[in-house]
Amino acid sequence: MATGIFITLEGGEGSGKSTQVRSLTRRLQKGNVSVTTVREPGGTSLGNRLRRLLKFSTVPLTPEAELLLFNASRAQLVTDVMRPALERGEVVLCDRFTDSTIAYQGYGRGISLDSVKAVNNIATGGLVPNLTIFLDLSPEEGMRRRSTTMDRFEQGFEKRDVTDFHQMVRKGYLELANHEPQRWLTIDASLSSRQVTRLIWQRVEPLLESMRLANKVR
């Protein structure tokens, strides 16, 4: 059975994740690398419905409800899309994954990290990225980059409690990256988009070579 590569992109609001996901997808496709690109929450019929609820609904959600809804979407995505693609030997590129939940619902919302990790593990069956790219940017700069349309996590940023929330999210990401430096690539997202793209490719290219060699041996 072939073995693919699982890459995730993480970062706060306005850090440029979506841009870099598109750039990396195009680069892989031009190199004739099979790639499945997904985002969280979303990627399945269930996930897309939950995405609208989580990001734009005016219905109040407790931190625990957020945690469970994100992971309901995730469980479906892992089973229906991600694991089959990895078993086909593809690169799976995901805009946010479990580390987002740890940063936002754990560090940001205050749910115990052990609880967040346990629920994440149930949803993923223990699936862990080969590489996690963290685009690090101050929350203030990230919000300045955003459009006028804001989701639930961005609204009211001028309020002190919302600003503090995003600061805690960034702190969470940095602590996670420091804890697993072999898995994480932290990039200063204030660099130009081209510079960020180049730094990402420098880390991804050796992974592709390792994947090709491993699958050739099989």
Distance CA 203, CA 99 (A): 19
pLDDT per residue as tens digits for the range 17-66:
999 999 999 999 999 999 999 999 999 999 999 999 998 888 889 999 99
Q: Is the pLDDT of residue 159 over 70?
A: no
Residue 81 burial (C-beta neighbours within 10 Å; 0-12, 13-18, 19+): middle
Residue pair 5/182 in contact by the 8 Å Cβ criterion: no
pLDDT digits (tens, 9 = 90+) for 164-186: 889 999 999 999 999 999 999 99
pTM confidence score: 0.92
Phi and psi at residue 133, in whole multiples of 5°?
Answer: -100, 120
The CATH superfamily holding the domain 5-217 is P-loop containing nucleotide triphosphate hydrolases (3.40.50.300)
Strand arrangement, sheet containing 5-11: 35-39, 91-95, 5-11, 131-136, 184-188
Q: In the predicted model, is pLDDT for residue 156 greater than 60? A: no
Neighbours of 110 (CB within 10 A): 10
Q: What is residue 151's predicted lDDT score, i.e. its pLDDT? A: 66
Residue 204 exposure: Cα atoms within 13 Å on the Cβ side: 27
Domain residue spans in the chain? Answer: 5-217
The separation between CA 77 and the C-alpha centre of its own chain, rounded to angstroms, equals 13
The pLDDT score that the predictor gives to residue 215 is 83
Alpha-carbon span 130 to 39, nearest angstrom = 17
